[in-house]
Structure 1
Amino acid sequence: MAFSMHKISIRQIFLLWISYLLINIVAIGSDLRAQDVTIGSKTKQLLNEIRNEVDQLSERSPNVDRAYIASISIMNHVQRIVSPLQYSVLKTTGEDTPKTVEECLEAKAGICGNQVACFLELANHLKLRARPVEFYLHGKTPKENTSHICAEVYYDQAWRFFDVTWGTYFMMDGKAASIDAVRESPTVARQAAVTNETDQWFLHWRRSGLDPLTYVDHKFVDILRGRNGVIRLRGNEFVYLPTHQPTFIGLNSLSSDYGPVRIELLDVHAGVSRVIIQVSGYAGTGELVIEQRGNKMAYPITELKIGENEFVLPYKVAAGELEVKMKATNPAKIGYVVYSRIHVSR
């Protein structure tokens, strides 16, 4: 079926992008370092091309960090092959979209979640220390929330940030910068951005008035590095829904570079004494902890049921934030809870 860009608005494409991003971030939820013991033919072919390229460039530029050369090579190849534009074509024409790394390379299609999955798998095979960096940008209302996912690679004693979708890294102080450095000096970072501005998806976003690098200086953004960090939920009175945000709490990887997702409920009313969590599932061990200002209660996740779980707090909540997190009871095991809604009441 033919695809005509003028038949689809940028809003439709943008919504497709956001809707399927989280699906692909969940796909990265399992430890990619243990994924694909048997390498697919497309992955193997690309891996060999990148190895040869890195060997060649490292020999010709012996003073340049090999990990930097490899990171740029992986990013360039993945951006070139795994196309968000082609992904939108497949979605618009009703065709199946790729899910695995091998399928993305075969279909030459994927959004940022797919691209980062490809990046991380290739980086793993090249013995690079890499992990995802997720951005959850808050809109004026939760429905306007958006998200994006990139990668970072550890070398030269620091994490270096790479946005695979746009072929972007930030050359600050003569080196690829960390996401911390980018966020601390956003004006300098935008000037230092090295981006593949000939990419058709990038050009389309710019023509449509969208900012591909909005995460650089967005004021209200939650960042997960190796899935470690806090996700803030804004409620509708007493109901909190993850909107274009992760739907799990806790740790789902034992990699030392990964950590747990914690939830912070914003603007909770004073006097709340009950928390009801709609649980879709759980894995591993640990305790679900609901805490505010040193007051807390803990509940073993193995005793949770699928559906509504009501917790009567042994303390009165003050107006403000309420944290929901996991406490590990066995550091050798994962522990996380998948949820769809949190309801608080007095």
Structure 2
Amino acid sequence: MKLLTAVTFIILAHASCYVPSVLSTKGGMGDNTATTATMEDGINNDERQLASSSSTGYKYTRNYLTIIQPEDFVTVFPDGAINIGSGVPSLVGSSTIQKGGVYDPADIDLVNRLNGVGPEDLTPAVLASFNDDEGDALDAIGGFKFAGDRQPKQPVPPGDSAFFYHGECVVNSAISSPFPQRVDRQLGPGLDIEGFLASITVLSHTCNLNICLGGGGFNCIAFYSGTSFVFDIGEQISSPKDLDYTVEGDIKLPPPFPSTIIGGTGSFEGIEGTVDIATICGTTGPILTPCDDCKRALSEEKLLTFTKVRLGSIVQTISIKSNMPLPVAP
């Protein structure tokens, strides 16, 4: 069976996410108070003050978990909606918007899911893609791996509505091979689809994120990250097992990254510090499903297309070091 040239949703695996549980660390941030630059014994006073303050670190440290559902992890492209067959938009400038609840790590159990997708994971949206036939769905995607081979144990505690996490990450640089624009171009022999997918890699990103820790949702900490973020997006793609031509994705977790606190609201006004973020388990990659409304331009043959449907939850650790006490999540 031939596949469609449309791969417009492959970037949705970003992040799926998107790593060892050991978090990266970053040195403390210096005092921002303006001083007059003078020289004493050949040493700039500003440099001395920065070195002194950065060596002390931050007194308060706490870890949190956020759980993000697939429908709350959305990728958008800078040129708007991309129609089927129009080719792959540039990854540069694409943004991922996310939101999730915040929990105490002690309240969330993560269980091994080494066998991947099972009957309990089939959502109504997935079943609808396979004409509500559970057997067909499991034959096609049963066993698809979750990133990190783990998932949070269900049911997840309700948490507190005043404890939440949200924000946006934008791709600054990436590698992306050009892809044929013709709708009638076939995927299969003669086209190195694996090589094409393997070439789609994010190289760096900028994130503006926000975590709220009580106070009716008004005690919030804002942090910024603008770092290298090397993540092979294309390798996350898989196709159903019953196709004539299949693609086996290598579902991986995205790398951890450091952030710097840039401000706070409510009780966190005046906060300083650093934040380390790591994804410890994630969703499947985007899933190829039949496209009943799609036909090849030069024939009546039905096609397959990448969908926005993914299975599983994204779990991230958020480790904060600051100059202020941090509350325990409910």
Asked if these proteins are the same fold (TM beyond 0.5), I'd say: no
Q: Which has the larger radius of gyration?
A: 2
Greater RCO between the two (CA within 8 Å, min separation 6)?
A: 2
**TM-score with structure 1 length normalisation?**
0.22
Greater helix fraction, Structure 1 or Structure 2: 1
